[in-house]
Amino acid sequence: MTRHSKEWLDEKQIKLYDYKKFSEPKEVGRGGYGTVYKTAIKRLDFAFKKSSIEEKDEKNEKIIQRFDRE
C-alpha cells in the first residue's frame, strides 16, 4: 500500500473491501489505473474499480493527480 492510498483510506476518500465478500464480479470496463467490475456485497448491487499505483509512481505528482481524478 502506498503512502497516498493509506492517506485516502484514513481520510475515508476511498473504502477498502474484502474481495471474499464479493459475489460473482463481472468486468464492465477498463481504464489506465484499473478494471471496473459490477458485483454484489451483502445483497447490495454496486460497481467498484480495482485500482493500483506502483510505488515508483507515488512521488510523481502528475500521476497522483490523474489517479486521484479516476
Tell me the C-alpha distance between 25 and 2, whole Å.
Answer: 25
| Burial 37-64, CB ≥16 within 10 A → b, else e | bebeeeeeeeebeeeebeeebeeeeebb
Task: Judge whether 49 is annotated as a binding position.
Answer: yes
Q: What is the pLDDT of residues 54-69, one digit of tens each?
A: 777 767 778 777 776 7
Instruction: End-to-end CA distance of the chain: give it in Å, rounded.
Output: 18
Please tell me the pTM assigned to this model: 0.42
pLDDT tens column, 14-47: 777 777 778 888 899 888 878 888 887 766 666 6
| Beta carbons within 8 Å of 60's beta carbon, 6+ residues apart | none
Beta carbons within 8 Å of 57's beta carbon, 6+ residues apart: 63, 64
